[in-house]
């Protein structure tokens, strides 16, 4: 059995800069990844199929509708192996769970069967976030997800992830946004060796989907307000189309304190601490 980790994808910022005639939205986003996520386990040689386990397995199909299954089908020369997906992060939560799983599937099959990775247009066909989920560190994603610029390794930063356990439709959030031609990110240059300036750089940006997401799931505003009150929180924002929100920490002891506080005050919410990778 061979394992592949599928780290959650975090939109540290998300600028909505336009919409194409075919309906696809144009983004300018700074993305990172965390050591919290799903795990894929593949057993070559066994009969093909997908088994979904883990705390959020019941929210995800194990049929051909699953992105893991669709990602495996891209490799037409490979007899589909048995894949087990351990689903540890909420579904439809703005942290790229399905896309991260699809990207991990591509990496795993490519590595095990010595197959070339599919071209970017095939990855995009699985989902706009799949190409960026093939990367690590701090990445700038533009266009409909096809333009990727690697910026730097991830700084030594802790993160607290909080989700109200309410799935949020990405399409509904985008459709609810009134202004879609917003300004992009002004610069992707920063003093990566000075952490305070890195936090300032992230704070200079925004997530243009936040208001629309809050209108659909008001608990997002409650979570953001809670995170702002946590000692040591350097950046507080919603990720992607929500409903997961995050806070970034330089001090890992204060990160633990914040997790304890949110866990006590909001026991029904999903709350996990981690680190940028």
Q: What is the mean pLDDT of residues 59-78?
A: 86
DSSP state of 195: H
The C-alpha atoms of residue 107 and residue 39 are separated, in whole angstroms, by: 12
Q: What is the mean pLDDT of residues 90-119?
A: 95
CB of 105 within 8 A of CB of 68? yes
pLDDT at 190: 62
Furthest CA-CA distance within the chain? 53
Question: What is the pTM for the complete model shown?
Answer: 0.95
pLDDT at 189: 63
| pLDDT tens-digit map of 145-184 | 999 999 999 999 999 999 999 999 999 999 999 999 999 9
Residue 185 predicted with pLDDT over 80: yes
Please give the backbone phi and psi of residue 271, each rounded to the nearest 5 degrees, phi first. -140, 120
pLDDT at 277: 97
Q: Which domains does the chain have, with CATH numbers?
A: 2-143 (3.30.230.10), 157-275 (3.30.70.890)
Residue 275 predicted with pLDDT over 80: yes
pLDDT at 188: 65
Long-range CB contacts (within 8 A, 24+) of 56-59: 56/87, 56/88, 56/89, 56/90, 56/91, 57/85, 57/87, 59/87, 59/90, 59/91, 59/167
Positions marked active-site: 9, 129
- C-alpha torsion 148→153→158→159, nearest 10: 10
Please give the backbone phi and psi of residue 253, each rounded to the nearest 5 degrees, phi first. -70, -40
pLDDT at 64: 72
Q: What is the mean pLDDT of residues 84-107?
A: 96
Residue 77 predicted with pLDDT over 90: no
The C-alpha atoms of residue 159 and residue 273 are separated, in whole angstroms, by: 6
Q: What is the mean pLDDT of residues 208-226?
A: 98
| pLDDT tens-digit map of 37-52 | 999 999 877 677 889 9
pLDDT at 44: 78
CB of 99 within 8 A of CB of 67? yes
| pLDDT tens-digit map of 16-32 | 999 999 999 999 999 99
Sign of torsion over alpha carbons 136, 142, 147, 149: negative
pLDDT at 65: 80
Quote the strand ranges of the chain, DSSP E.
2-19, 25-43, 49-53, 82-86, 138-143, 147-152, 158-163, 233-238, 245-249, 270-275
Task: Give the pLDDT band of residue 63 (cuts 50, 70, 90).
Answer: confident
pLDDT at 191: 58
Q: What is the mean pLDDT of residues 73-102?
A: 93
């Amino acid at each position: 059995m061979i394992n592949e980790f599928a780290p959650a994808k975090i939109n540290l910022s998300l600028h909505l800069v336009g919409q194409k005639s075919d309906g696809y939205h144009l983004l300018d986003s700074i993305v990172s990844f965390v050591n919290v996520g799903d795990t894929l386990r593949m057993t070559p040689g066994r009969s093909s199929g997908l088994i979904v386990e883990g705390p959020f397995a019941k929210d995800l199909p194990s049929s051909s509708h699953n992105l893991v299954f669709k990602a495996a089908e891209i490799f037409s020369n490979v007899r589909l192996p048995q894949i087990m997906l351990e689903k540890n992060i909420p579904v439809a939560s703005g942290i790229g769970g399905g896309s991260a799983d699809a990207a991990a599937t591509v990496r795993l099959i490519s590595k095990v069967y010595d197959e070339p990775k599919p071209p970017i247009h095939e990855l995009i066909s699985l989902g706009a976030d799949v190409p960026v989920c093939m990367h690590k560190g701090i990445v700038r994603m533009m266009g409909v997800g096809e333009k990727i610029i690697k910026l730097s390794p991830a700084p030594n930063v802790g993160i607290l992830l909080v989700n109200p356990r309410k799935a949020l439709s990405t399409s509904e959030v985008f459709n609810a946004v009134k202004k879609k031609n917003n300004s992009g990110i002004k610069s992707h240059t920063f003093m990566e060796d000075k952490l305070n300036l890195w936090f300032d750089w992230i704070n200079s940006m925004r997530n243009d989907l936040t208001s629309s997401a809050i209108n659909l799931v008001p608990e997002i505003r409650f979570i953001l307000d809670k995170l702002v009150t946590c000692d040591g929180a350097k950046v507080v924002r919603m990720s992607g189309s929500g409903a997961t929100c995050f806070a970034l920490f330089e001090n890992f002891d204060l990160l633990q304190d914040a997790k304890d506080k949110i866990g006590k005050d909001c026991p029904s919410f999903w709350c996990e601490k981690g680190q940028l990778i």
